[in-house]
Each structure stands twice: as structure tokens, then as C-alpha cells.
């Protein structure tokens, strides 16, 4: 009994598959995109539905090219996209088939944008995930959260919400997962999660079930059917899953600036460097990294995001398999943010903050040079080399039994990979 409790349960196959996707794109797009002030603009400006819903009449989606989105994700090294099929504003990008007139079919767009999205993803070998809000500001017109005591309106809303999810589960073929968001607003309500998840399992048995625990509960645990711990805007951690009923994947989602829905006056962008580092720090603990882009009013790809993602893709292309298949090695530790991953028989050392070498009159050196220690590796290492230039790295495996000392050479002026990866081959 005692020993059984110490075992980390093996991941279900859908969870293991999800972990190998590694890097994904979050797309926040809705009527709010036309105002360029983020996806909470209806609430922030206290707009009444009568006024806000006028945005439907100018929603043309004329710049939305789902194939272009999927190709961009691919170019960045991403393997999945999570699209907001309905956000808190209550507008659906999909055909609600009579459930509501507040959808893309009843706007000038006149198309089922989720159908296009799913099809484009498949054509580009990207796994489609569908985000869906659980709170809906169309139902609480005074913009208050769902009534604390539930009440008949809440029951009616849940029927509508669950019928909406049934449409998503039945009309778009197999999807990677459903990503719910909003229960954090009203944790004491009875969201009837049993009913919702049974519905998903019936029509989409292999879909991941995700339910965002929100900014205040990073990595919180929810209903037993949920497959992931969410880390909204925060680096993920590696929880001890020994003895738990089910192994859970983890995913960090993050905005590329300070908004999910496009922010016209937002300049606070992450650089390719920061994106690469955050991707690595997610993989360090075996978590996925879901990076957000807010398309323009009519669904175009914003310039900066386009360029930054393509630049990131130049880096991820070098390490694609290692990033997706690499798993953390229990009991190992490196200094600083460095870490190792294992793929097959090889280990890969991810080195952060390396120095750069060149003429003193030109190099600005704020990185570190020299040896770094790797503790706790279960095997003896025979050789180490940088993957990018095949340079062999000197090692000193004799310092204490299990610790390995590797002499990491600096970048030479002309290169700066942000995070550099060395392959370590066991004896």
C-alpha cells in the first residue's frame, strides 16, 4: 500500500499525446477585437448589450484566413491552436444552429468560422482546440456574475451552454480538446461539470478537457475528468504527482503583450528571446506553452506577432524533436535556469545566459562563461557537444560521484542562440 502511493500514475494516452505537442497558439478573437481594447471591453466600459451587440453588424471576418493562421503556427514550431469559439461577450464564431442569433452566421461574416478553423488546422497538421467561455455577459445583462444562489436563470443558462458544447463536439470531427474558462468567477456555483464532461466523453472520447483555474489558482486541481493544470500568465511548476489518481499535464498560457484580445495601444511585447526562454522553462518541467495572439478586428495577423513568431520558429526548428519529445529527468539539477531533457538514450542540456566571445571592442558581455555543474544524472556521460556547431565540450566527470562538470564554451560573436543546447551521450 505504502509503495503504491509513491508511484506517479502513467499518463493516459491523450495526455501523453498532448504533452508531445509542446508549443501552441492561443487565438483570442471576437467582436471585441473591433474596439482594440482587449476582450473584457464590454465589462470595462460598462457597455449594455443593446449597444455592445451592434458590433455584430460590422463583423465581416474578411481578413480571417484560417490556413494562414495554421501556417504561421507551424512556422513558429507550434503543433496546436486553441481558438476562442465563444468568449465572455457571448458571441459565437460557430453556427449555433438555432440556439442563438448572436453568432457569426448572423453577422456580415455569414460563415462558420470554427468549421474553417478546424479544416485549416487539419490541412496544416495542427491540432485544433476549442476555447469556450463558461460565463456569458449576454445572460447577465447588468454585467454581474452569475447569481450566487444559482437560481432558475442559471439552470436555463447551463442548458444553453451545454447544448452549445454538444454542437462543438458533434459537428467538427475529432478535436484536440475543449478549453473552458470562467468557473473561477463563481467557484461556489454548481456548474454541473459531471454532465458537461460526460457529454464530451460521449462524443469526443479522446479530447483533452481543460478548465482554466484562473489567475489566482495557478496549477489548481479541479474535477477528476479534467486533464490539465493551467498556469495563466505564470511559469509552470512540477507538482509531485506520486500517489495521485490521475497524471495531469500542465500548460502555461501567456499573452504576447498585456492583452488577450488585440490591444491597439499596447506596446508591452515579449521579444523572441523571452518567448524562447518561456517555452524552454515550460518544457523544463514537462509543461506545454500556449502563447496568445489577438487577431485584428476582421481576423488579420498583426505585424509584430507575425514577425516575432517567425523569428521564434527559426530557433524552434533547430530543436523541434527535443522540445516536443524531451522529458525532464527526475532527481537532476543544474545551476540557474539550466536544465536537461531526455529523448531516447540521449540527454540534452539547455544552457541559459551564455557569454559571447569576440574582440573586446565589440562584444558586450553580460553572460556567463565556463563550467557548469549537472547533478544527479543516473548515467555516466561519455561525450558532450553543442548541437548547433558540433563542437565537443570538455567534461570532468570525476568531481564527486554523480556530478558532472561541463566546460561550456561561449558563443562566438556572430551567434547568440538565447538558449543553447548540448547533447550528452551516455557511456
The H or E element containing residue 86 is: strand 80-86
Q: How far is the CB of 375 from ligand GLC (least distance, A)?
A: 35
| Minimum distance, C-beta of residue 366 to ligand GLC, in the bound complex (Å) | 33
**By C-beta, is 56 or 132 nearer to ligand GLC?**
132
Residue placing its CB nearer to ligand GLC in the complex, 181 or 305: 181
374's CB contacts (< 8 A; 6+ apart) are: 332, 333, 334, 340, 349, 403, 404, 405, 406, 424
> Distance between alpha carbon 175 and the CA centroid of its chain, in Å?
16
Q: Name residues contacting ligand GLC, limited to 193-212 (CB under 6 A).
A: 212
Strand 404-408 vs strand 392-396: parallel, antiparallel, or unpaired?
antiparallel
Considering beta carbons, is residue 40 or 140 the nearer one to ligand GLC?
Answer: 40
Per-residue contact string for residues 274-293; x = within reach of ligand GLC by CB under 6 A = --------------------
Of the pair 214, 426, the CB lying nearest ligand GLC is at 214
Q: How far is the CB of 186 from ligand GLC (least distance, A)?
A: 13
Residues 199, 221: Cα–Cα separation, whole Å: 21
- Residue-wise DSSP of 131-180: EEES--TTTSTT-PPSPTT--HHHHHHHHHHHHHHHHHHHHS-S-SEEEE
* Range 155-194, binding ligand GLC (CB under 6 A): 181
Interaction between residue 260 and ligand GLC (CB under 6 A): yes
Taking the least distance from each CB to ligand GLC, the nearer of 24 and 326 is 24
Shorter beta-carbon distance to ligand GLC: residue 44 or 327:
44
**Binder of ligand GLC out of 95, 116, 124, 232 (CB under 6 A):** 232
The residue (of 40 and 160) whose beta carbon lies closer to ligand GLC is 40
Q: Are 334 and 328 in contact (CB under 8 A)?
A: no
Whether residue 263 contacts residue 214, with contact meaning beta carbons closer than 8 Å, is answered with no
Size of the site for ligand GLC (CB under 6 A): 9
Choose which of 21, 32, 39, 226 interacts with ligand GLC (CB under 6 A).
39
Give the shortest CB-177-to-ligand GLC separation in angstroms: 14
Nearer to ligand GLC, 144 or 361 (CB): 144
Least Å distance between CB 123 and ligand GLC? 26
- Taking the C-alpha atoms of residue 27 and residue 294, their distance in angstroms, rounded to an integer, is 6
Distance CA 413, CA 427 (A): 33
Answer yes or no whether residue 220 interacts with ligand GLC by CB under 6 A.
no
User: % helix / strand / coil in the chain, to the nearest 5?
Assistant: 30, 25, 45
The least distance separating ligand GLC from the CB of residue 187, rounded to whole angstroms, comes to 13
Does residue 214 interact with ligand GLC by CB under 6 A?
yes
Give the nearer residue to ligand GLC in terms of CB position, either 79 or 87: 87
With respect to ligand GLC, which residue has the nearer C-beta, 124 or 232? 232
Annotate 19-35 with b (16+ C-beta within 10 A) or e (fewer): bebbbbbbbbbbbbbbb
Min separation Cβ 117 and ligand GLC, Å: 17
Residue 311's SS3 state is helix
Question: Least distance to ligand GLC from the beta carbon of 401, Å?
Answer: 45
What gap in Å lies between CA 179 and CA 176, rounded to an integer? 10
Interaction with ligand GLC in 16-35: which residues (CB under 6 A)?
28
Task: Return the C-alpha cell found at 268.
Answer: 508591452
In the complex, the smallest distance separating the C-beta of residue 185 from ligand GLC, rounded to whole angstroms, is: 8
Return the number of other C-beta atoms located less than 10 Å from residue 153's C-beta. 12
C-alpha pair distances (Å), 314 with each of 71, 75, 216, 286, 319: 14, 8, 34, 22, 10
Least distance between ligand GLC and beta carbon 12 (Å): 23
Site residues, ligand GLC (CB under 6 A) = 28, 39-40, 181, 212, 214, 232, 253, 260
Amino acid at each position: 500500500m505504502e509503495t503504491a502511493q509513491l508511484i506517479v500514475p502513467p499518463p493516459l494516452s491523450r495526455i501523453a499525446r498532448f504533452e508531445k505537442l509542446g508549443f501552441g497558439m492561443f487565438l483570442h478573437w471576437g467582436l471585441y477585437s473591433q474596439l482594440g481594447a482587449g476582450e473584457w471591453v464590454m465589462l470595462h466600459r460598462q457597455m449594455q448589450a443593446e449597444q455592445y451587440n451592434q458590433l455584430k453588424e460590422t463583423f465581416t471576418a474578411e481578413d480571417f484566413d484560417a490556413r494562414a493562421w495554421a501556417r504561421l503556427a507551424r512556422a513558429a514550431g507550434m503543433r496546436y491552436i486553441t481558438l476562442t469559439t465563444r468568449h465572455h461577450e457571448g458571441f459565437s464564431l460557430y453556427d449555433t444552429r438555432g440556439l442563438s442569433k448572436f453568432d457569426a452566421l448572423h453577422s456580415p461574416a455569414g460563415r462558420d468560422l470554427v468549421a474553417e478553423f478546424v479544416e485549416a488546422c487539419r490541412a496544416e497538421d495542427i491540432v485544433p482546440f476549442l476555447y469556450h467561455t463558461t460565463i456569458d455577459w449576454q445572460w447577465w445583462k447588468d454585467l454581474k456574475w452569475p447569481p450566487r444562489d444559482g437560481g432558475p436563470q442559471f439552470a436555463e443558462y447551463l442548458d444553453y451552454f451545454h447544448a452549445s458544447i454538444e454542437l462543438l463536439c458533434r459537428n467538427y470531427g475529432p478535436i484536440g480538446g475543449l478549453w473552458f474558462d470562467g468557473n473561477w468567477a463563481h467557484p461556489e456555483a454548481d456548474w454541473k461539470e459531471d454532465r458537461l464532461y460526460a457529454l464530451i466523453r460521449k462524443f469526443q472520447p479522446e479530447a483533452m478537457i481543460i478548465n482554466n483555474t484562473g489567475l489566482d489558482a495557478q496549477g489548481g486541481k479541479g474535477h477528476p475528468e479534467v486533464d490539465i493544470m493551467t498556469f495563466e500568465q505564470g511559469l509552470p511548476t512540477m507538482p509531485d504527482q506520486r500517489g495521485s489518481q490521475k497524471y495531469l499535464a500542465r500548460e502555461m498560457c501567456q499573452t504576447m503583450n498585456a492583452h488577450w484580445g488585440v490591444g491597439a495601444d499596447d506596446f508591452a511585447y515579449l521579444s523572441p528571446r523571452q518567448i524562447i526562454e518561456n517555452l524552454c522553462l515550460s518544457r523544463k518541467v514537462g509543461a506545454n506553452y500556449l502563447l496568445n495572439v489577438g487577431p485584428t478586428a476582421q481576423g488579420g495577423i498583426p505585424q509584430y506577432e507575425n514577425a516575432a513568431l517567425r523569428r521564434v520558429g527559426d530557433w524552434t526548428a533547430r530543436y523541434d524533436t527535443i522540445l516536443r519529445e524531451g522529458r525532464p529527468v527526475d532527481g537532476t539539477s543544474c545551476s540557474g535556469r539550466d536544465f536537461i531533457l531526455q529523448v531516447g538514450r540521449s540527454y540534452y542540456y539547455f544552457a541559459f545566459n551564455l557569454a559571447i566571445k569576440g574582440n573586446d571592442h565589440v562584444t558586450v558581455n553580460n553572460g556567463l562563461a565556463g563550467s557548469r555543474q549537472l547533478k544527479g544524472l543516473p548515467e555516466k556521460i561519455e561525450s558532450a557537444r553543442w548541437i548547433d556547431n558540433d563542437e565537443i565540450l570538455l567534461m570532468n566527470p570525476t568531481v564527486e560521484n554523480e556530478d558532472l562538470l561541463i566546460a561550456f564554451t561561449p558563443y562566438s560573436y556572430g551567434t547568440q542562440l538565447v538558449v543553447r543546447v548540448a547533447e550528452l551521450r551516455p557511456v
